[in-house]
Structure 1
Amino acid sequence: MRTDSGGGTHEFVQYCQQRRLQYSVGFTLTTITAAAVDRIPEHVWAPAYDAGGKVRDGAWVAELTGLIDLSAWRSGMRVIVRAERPHPGAQLRFTDRNGLRLTAFATNTTRGQLPDLELRHRRRACYEDRIRAAKDTGLRNLPLHGSDANRIGIEIVCLVAELTGLQLLVLHDHHARHWEPKRLRLRLFSTATRP
């Protein structure tokens, strides 16, 4: 189970552990937990990976588990922190340290290298993108009056989401692979109707 910090609650973690599920949830850093990052020795930081699984310049991961108080959480929880140079123009937060953007997640996974676990956690973002795209194609508003009609509307949105999801497979070597639904509709789907 992978979620952003919205899933980083005691109840959700307990739910996962009771069902013997592995979880990877966003972990909100407070100023106290962010200050613990300063106590991580320099040699412990490992290079982080980009989305393709290659080493990303300017990003590192380390385990924060033994440096913060996790007694209120279920046993077996690990906290892994990522430090990276922010993108140009990005605003730093109060919890960022030494000019680096900090993000963290909690997991109960015991195996695997830290960069692999962190990459696995970040890959949940592609699902969030698909949900956002579904909202852009009609899932945000259900304008019909009856529940049966709205159910049909949801099925149509799901069909559109499946079709736009094919862009990842079909357009794998083209920059259109990353187009948003509106651009796909205007540039690709309407092409056949042009004279």
Structure 2
Amino acid sequence: MQGIGSRPRLHVSADGAGVVGHAGARLLADLADVTGLTSSYSTALRPLRPRGTGHDPGRIATDLAVMVADGGEAITDLATLRDQREVFGPIASTPTAWRLLAAVDERVLGRLRSARAQAREVAWLQASETRCGIPAAKAGGREVPGLVLDIDATLITCHSEKDQAAPTYKGGFGFHPLLCFLANTGEGMSGRLRPGNSGANTAADHIAVLDDALAQIPDAHRYGTDILVRTDSAGSAKSFLSHIRDLRARGIRTSFSVGYAVTEPVRRAIRSLPEQVWHPALDQDGTLRESAEVAELTGMADLAGYPAGTRIIVRRERPHPGAQLSLFDRDEGMRHQVFLTDTPFTSGSAQFLEVRHRGHATVEDHIRSGKATGFGRFPSRLFGVNAAWLELSLAAIDLMAWTRVLLLDGELATAEPKKLRYRILHVAARITRGGRRLRLRISATWPWRHELAAAFHRLAALPRPAS
């Protein structure tokens, strides 16, 4: 007797023909071709072409990036694409892909980064020609002019011995990469793999990651657009902020908004502030933030050695339950956060600059999504292989971002990778042939079939880069 809500009885066999899974991942593979990423990788990796396999190394690198964007966690996951040759074409074996990654040294890694920058220039031109260009980051209900780069470090746990893995400051063991994301689109601009015991506030690493990120920005935007660099207090080193300021001499209009430690002199300055200088803080939608206030500390704290025009701003807020408070915060009954910026007084009130800085918290979402898109797990004991894996993970993150910007609308245009995989990439479809065409037929009952079909049509209409 069938119970209420029982499912229809099935007879399962493994002899289906013409059915493919992960059909939506073909969208990413084609996008890599259309933006020129595959061809740029081919040029960058030409000296590493494996003998006797017939596989182009650029195509191998692209397939790895597509696999990672699709949710793959290990090189063996290439089998998901390889076993569906009708959709994805010939895919390299796991040993061939492994040998390619093992051959990537620091010099080749630089060529891979340059190849990704070339593809980004094409993708941004396509966005300008077919959409409204690169979207603006927002804060306090307003658009933030130009581009916003968010830099932050994260810990990656290793469960086995790996080259240069080390104990972390949180008592774990693994790596401590430093990463940069573009707040406007979520693109993974740059990243450096570092040992687990690397310092969070190392100025030289921040400078290297920022310079790598700037090299990813097309010339028309790098030299003609305001670029805001945001970090937490780990990026408040004087030498790093001086580097940001010095970039202006090269025609790059950079500015900074970085966290700052609440030191004893800063505490004294906060205590000396009269109540009338505190103003209500803003939420990201522009409304007033309950129980939070902002004040300007510029001129009341010693900023000797910092770039001229540096401002210091403080926010105080009633702490939420469970918040970690310093003794100073407990005494005051408020949680205090301080940041530095060189944005002049004529370009924004303290209220707007504070909510703009607080937007840096979105980098945590980008890192969380990035860990689910490759760099949450490194596949090799060899540091060089893992560094190459991180670079291809950033390419995978870019492919997902370009898909959202160029091909999707509505809710999907802001969706995180998990949602895109469930709704778009992992859809099953049937392969049919007729009229000299190979057709990918998405199920007529799949809720997001129209969005996926529209994305493929937009992809076909994108202008191609000049060969």
Counterpart residue type for residue 103 of structure 1: Q
Matches of residues 1-195 of structure 1 in structure 2 within 5 Å?
1-20=229-248, 21-96=254-329, 98-110=332-344, 111=346, 112-143=348-379, 147=385, 150=389, 152=392, 154-160=394-400, 170-171=410-411, 184=419, 188=423, 192=427
Contact kept? 2:400, 2:417, Cα under 8 Å: no
- Which moves more between the two structures, 132-141 or 143-152? 143-152
**Alpha-carbon distance in 1 for matches of 2:402, 2:314:** 34
Shift of 1:124: 2.1
Counterpart residue type for residue 332 of structure 2: N
Contact kept? 1:46, 1:60, Cα under 8 Å: yes
**Alpha-carbon distance in 1 for matches of 2:314, 2:288:** 16
**Alpha-carbon distance in 2 for matches of 1:36, 1:9:** 21
**Alpha-carbon distance in 2 for matches of 1:158, 1:141:** 18
Shift of 1:189: 5.8
Aligned length: 188
Shift of 1:105: 0.5
**Alpha-carbon distance in 2 for matches of 1:33, 1:139:** 37
Structure 2 gaps, min length 5:
1-228, 249-253, 429-444, 447-467
**Alpha-carbon distance in 1 for matches of 2:358, 2:282:** 10
Shift of 1:79: 0.3
**Alpha-carbon distance in 1 for matches of 2:275, 2:394:** 51
Shift of 1:12: 1.1
- Which moves more between the two structures, 57-66 or 146-155? 146-155
> Residue 117 of structure 2 aligns with which residue?
none
- Larger Rg belongs to: 2
Counterpart residue type for residue 2 of structure 1: R
Residues 136-182 of structure 1: per-residue CA shift (max 9 Å, x gap): 3222333157859735555334434656899x96328xxxx78x755
Change (3 A) 1:78 1:169: farther
Contact kept? 2:311, 2:340, Cα under 8 Å: yes
Shift of 1:56: 0.7
Change (3 A) 1:115 1:45: same
Contact kept? 1:62, 1:80, Cα under 8 Å: yes
Contact kept? 2:231, 2:258, Cα under 8 Å: yes
Asked which structure has the greater RCO (Cα within 8 Å, sep 6+), the reply is 2
> Residue 18 of structure 2 aligns with which residue?
none
Shift of 1:35: 2.7
Structure 1 gaps, min length 5:
none
Shift of 1:187: 6.2
Percentage of identical aligned residues: 39
Change (3 A) 1:86 1:158: same
**Alpha-carbon distance in 2 for matches of 1:70, 1:103:** 17
Counterpart residue type for residue 339 of structure 2: F
- Which moves more between the two structures, 115-124 or 72-81? 72-81
Counterpart residue type for residue 100 of structure 1: M
User: What SS class does the counterpart of residue 136 from structure 1 fall into?
Assistant: helix
Contact kept? 1:49, 1:119, Cα under 8 Å: yes
Contact kept? 1:7, 1:26, Cα under 8 Å: yes
Change (3 A) 1:79 1:114: same
Change (3 A) 1:154 1:72: closer
